[in-house]
Structures are given as structure tokens and as C-alpha cells.
Structure 1
Amino acid sequence: MQAALQAAGQGWHVFPLRPGSKRPALHGEQSCPRTGPCVNGHLKWEQRATTDPDRIRAAWSQAPFNVGIACGPSGLVVIDLDVPKNKSKGSSDAPDGATTFKALCERAGHAVPTTYRTRTASGGRHLYFTAPPGLHLTNTAGTIAELVDTRAWGGYVVAAGSITPTGTYESLSGLQTAVLPAWLRTILQPTPKASQAPATAVLGRSNRYADVALANETRAVASAPVGEREGTLLRAARALGRFVAWGDLPRHLVEQALQEAGQAAGLTAAECRSTLRSALNWSIAHNQTRRETA
């Protein structure tokens, strides 16, 4: 209860998780009684999360629930730095999320941001950031780097003070959260939908759209300022990867153009190759079907 009240005191919306678990303790839609908060229809955990101390005391007086924080309603973006799943079995040579995130920050020309952080039960880290007003981000998995996920709208994190069979979630700093850095925001903002590439276009017209997109993205990368170069390159590769998936652009042409643009902006060849490889692989995998647009 104290952990839930402390989180709510920060303006973070909380809801109960099953004792000793990371799963929500709230009823599902099929078993919804359609009473109380659900009288007008079933409300999921994100909708029922609250900062009301009276509701929190009433809920947590029933059982030693763990605490979930609904990131979206709380105005939070939480970066989840995970550990390799086989690390507990003695294989420690694989880098963990904290290591890959630190390397990403260094390539972007920044130190690891100072903000509220917790230690997870598995030994990972959660970095809490305040989302800028008007920014609506959703969850990501591996978009930033290997073993680096994010939780925002549609996602929740387990709060410090919660206890699971594998360990306790612990606070590692003061509760003050930093605003999500602009360079991270650039990486996390979703790639705009390809309204300029209709599925009904003939091949020649489709290729012209792709050529224009390639020229625009290459120019954006080459002119990106220090601190935004890595994020701009990543977003450009994700944007152009769909044209590779659809057969409008050959992958080697995209890689060469963005590699040259990234190096012209000041990134090293190795930094460009690493970012391009992961971003293009992700985009191609997620764009196997050409999207229908108006």
C-alpha cells in the first residue's frame, strides 16, 4: 500500500497486480460484473489506474498486491533495460540492455540520462522519463537497441516495492524524473505512414515515390545536427525499409546512400553500419505487405 501511495503521490496512476506477480489483479472483460467503475462498460487496467488515495487504500487493504504503474495516463515513458535470459545460467558474455543503451548514448554524443530509476527483480533497470506534452508514444521492443524496450501508452511497469519469487523491485535514486531527451524522442516517434506510396500505384509511379523518399531521407541524415544524427539515421532507415520490402528500392542502394549521408554528418562507418543493419531489418520485417492508403 505504501508503494502504491508513494507512486500516486508522484502523479503516477497505479493499479493492483496479483500478490507475488507481475500480472494485473483486475477482472477480465468476460468476467466483468458491469458494476462499480465498469457500470457503463468494462474498463481495462489502463482505464482503471488511479491516483486517488482512498481508492488505493480500499484496494490494497484487501490483499498484499504488487503495484503496476500505467505509463500512458501517468505521462511516463519508461526505458526497460533487460538482461539476457541465459545470464542466470552462467553465460555472462552477452551484453545486457544497460550496456547496449550506454553504447547508443555514446554514439549519439550524450551521457546516459540522469533520471529516476529502479532495479527489476531480474536485475535489469527501468529508467523513468516524463513524456513531453502532446507526445503520444506506445510500447516498443528492440527499436532502440538489443534488450532495450520502452513502455508508454498501452504499457505498464512494476513499481518499486513490489515483490516476486525472483526478487524485489527496488528504487535506485530519488523520485525526480527527467523529460524524455529530444534525441530519444526522435528515435521513438513512429515513422509516418506512407501516404505518398499508394498500393494502387503502377510500378513506375511507385518507384518515383521511392526515389523522392530516398533523396529526402538522405538529405535529412546528411544535415542532421550533433545529438540527432543517430536518431535521424535510424528513422530514415526505418522509413526507407518499407520500400525495400515492397521491391521499390534495392537494399544495397539504400544502405549505400544512408551510409554516405551518415558519415557526411559525422558518424563513423561502424556506427552507420550498425544502425542501418538493425533498422532496415526491423522495417523490412514489419512491412511485408504494402499498406493500402487513400
Structure 2
Amino acid sequence: MSEHLLRAALDAAGRGWHVFPLRPGGKPPALHGETSCPGTGECAAGHRKWEQRATTDPDRIRAAWSRAPFNVGIATGPSGLLVVDLDVPKDKSSSDAPDGAATFGALCERAGHTVPDTYRVRTASGGEHLYFAVPAGVRLANTAGTVARSVDTRAWGGYVVAAGSTTPTGAYEALCAPVVTPLPLWLQAILQPAPKPAETPSGSVAGQSHRYADVALANETRNVATAQPGARESSLFRAARALGRLVAWGDLPRHVVEQALQEAGQRAGLSAAECRSTLRSALDWSIAHNSARRATA
């Protein structure tokens, strides 16, 4: 057993992160697969995969790491984490190859925010893992390239290699204190698109379409204005994301939406600056990702 790997596993578990052993010196899980499952112990009632077997129990961790110098895997979903993986170019000979850190920084700038200051780990390849706490009740999946080029994410169904682990290409090293900040709302919106509003009438019935938009604006404005403390900014963000579609479709002018939601947000208790920042990033993203609705014959 390697003491530093056991400490790494216990440290992660102490933060509430569910860990499981990875192969010594590698990244694949060191647990048996379904085809070789003995059907005993934890799997007595059926095969349990690595995500289900990941644990924060110190006794189970000590027992597992006493058998071999396993690297440490963190099951991101059960741990309530969303980890952003900023990759480095595979072809280091190409100067114009995409870099995850650069593309993510540009994305943050377009959203009107700085790169979030949160716990991060340098990976063996020289990239970075940024850790974020996912809000309770939110379930996110893994993504590859959804956020930006060379930017992947790990959540439910995924895992990351914990700091302290080592592979032949290098070590995983924590770059700052283990303070994990909440997942930014603008990033959550990219990973979890707002549900589409109910289908509107065809483009040939313009009057009905505009009446629908007016009702949607009134409903979303009311939801924001009556939002309770702790849910005000998220309510404003969701409303802007939903109404951004109607702006993209030409059913509502952007300035009308911005003014209505700005006033509603301030009535709910948000500052004018908070409202402007949230509205700008939410509307920009929603409009950019919704093509204009085509009229049907």
C-alpha cells in the first residue's frame, strides 16, 4: 500500500466526495466488471458498477487501499460535482491546436464573467480539472465539446482522477486550497438547457403567436418578481433563457424583455447590476442557440 494514495482517498472522502480504486499507475477502474461479477458482497443483489460502489466510508477505503497502491477515482455524480476538463492539444507540434483553458476563458469572457475561482487539479497531461458544486436536485450528464472545443465535463456517469494519483505521463496535483465554488448559472444553462415552451401556432397565425408571447412574458415576469430569497437569480436566469427563444423567433423585442425582467428582478430584491449581468449572459446564450422559427404553409 502507498500511504500517500490512501491519504488522497481519505482526504477526498472527507470532503464528501465518493471515491473508488483505479488501477495502480493508471486511470481505468480497478473493480470487477459485470461479466466477471461474483454476485457476492456488495453485488449480492446484482452487479454494482463503480459509480454505485464509490464510497466516503473511511473503513471501506482503508480496506480497499490496503490491497494495492491504487490510484484514486472520484465519482462526480454521487459527489455532487461537475468537473470541467480543460484538455491540452494531443498534437503538441501544431501551434494552432485548440487549448481547453484558452477556449474556456474566451467562453467566460463572452458570458460576461471571469474564469471562476474554484478548486482545480493539474492533470498528468498538463491540462486542468475545475471542480464545481452542483445545486441540490440538479442532475447533469457528461459532455464532450458541448461547452466549448477541448472542454469536456464530468458529472453523473463520469469520474475524474483525484489529486495525488500518478500515471506514467505524470502526476495529478492540486493547484489551490480545496474550496469548491457553486456551479455558475450561465454554465449550468449551457449544460442543462431550459425546457422549450409549449408549441406556438404556425407562423401564418402571427396574431396568436404574439398573444402567446405576451402571456409568456407576463408569466415569467411574475415568477421573477415573486421569487423567494435564494432563488431570485436562478428564477431570473431561467426566465431570460425561456424568453430568449421568443426574442430569437421575433415574437418579442429584446429591449422589452430586458426592461420587464430587470424591473421584476429589482422588485424581488436583486441589485440593478446583478439583474443586468444575469440578463445579458442568459439572453445572449438563448438567442444565439435558437434559430428563427420558420413559417409553415
TM-score higher than 0.5: yes
Alpha-carbon distance, 1:84 to partner: 1.3
Gaps of 5+ in 1: 251-294
Q: Is 1:83–2:88 an aligned residue pair?
A: yes
Partner of 2:114: 111
2:96 to 93, 113, 129: 93
Query: Secondary structure at the residue paired with 2:77?
Result: helix
Counterpart contact for 1:186–1:232, Cα < 8 Å: no
**How many residues of Structure 1 are paired with residues of Structure 2 in the alignment?**
236
TM-score, length of structure 1 as denominator length: 0.72
Distance (Å, rounded) in 2 between the aligned partners of 1:216 and 1:171: 44
1:153 to 153, 156, 167: 156
Identity %: 62
Partner of 1:249: 294
Partner of 1:23: 28
Counterpart contact for 1:221–1:229, Cα < 8 Å: no
Alpha-carbon distance, 1:14 to partner: 0.3
Counterpart contact for 2:91–2:97, Cα < 8 Å: no
1:73 to 72, 78, 81: 78
| Deviations 1:242-271 (CA, angstroms, capped at 9, x unpaired) | xx9xxx739xxxxxxxxxxxxxxxxxxxxx
Distance (Å, rounded) in 1 between the aligned partners of 2:244 and 2:182: 32
1:7 to 4, 8, 12: 12
Alpha-carbon distance, 1:237 to partner: 4.6
Distance (Å, rounded) in 2 between the aligned partners of 1:165 and 1:158: 14
| Deviations 1:192-237 (CA, angstroms, capped at 9, x unpaired) | 368749xxx99989xx99x989962524966464245344443455
| Deviations 1:85-107 (CA, angstroms, capped at 9, x unpaired) | 102xx223334111111111112
Partner of 1:234: 285
Distance (Å, rounded) in 2 between the aligned partners of 1:127 and 1:39: 36
Tell which deviates more after alignment, 219-228 or 99-108: 219-228
Distance (Å, rounded) in 2 between the aligned partners of 1:220 and 1:143: 28
2:39 to 34, 37, 40: 34
Equivalent positions of 1:191-230 (< 5 A) are: 191-192=194-195, 196=199, 216-218=246-248, 219=252, 223=257, 225-230=276-281
Partner of 2:134: 131
Letter in 1 for 2:52: Q
Distance (Å, rounded) in 2 between the aligned partners of 1:14 and 1:220: 49
Query: Secondary structure at the residue paired with 1:74?
Result: coil
| Deviations 1:14-39 (CA, angstroms, capped at 9, x unpaired) | 01111111111111111111111111
Distance (Å, rounded) in 2 between the aligned partners of 1:193 and 1:215: 8
Alpha-carbon distance, 1:10 to partner: 0.5
Distance (Å, rounded) in 1 between the aligned partners of 2:12 and 2:166: 15
Q: Is 1:174–2:210 an aligned residue pair?
A: no
Distance (Å, rounded) in 1 between the aligned partners of 2:167 and 2:104: 26
| Deviations 1:175-196 (CA, angstroms, capped at 9, x unpaired) | 0100111121122113536874
**Runs of 4+ with >3 A deviation:** 193-197, 201-205, 211-215, 219-225, 227-238
Alpha-carbon distance, 1:143 to partner: 1.4
| Deviations 1:134-160 (CA, angstroms, capped at 9, x unpaired) | 111111111111111111111111100
The 1:103/1:62 distance shift into structure 2, 3 A limit, reads same
Aligned CA RMSD, in angstroms, stands at 2.8
Larger Rg: 2
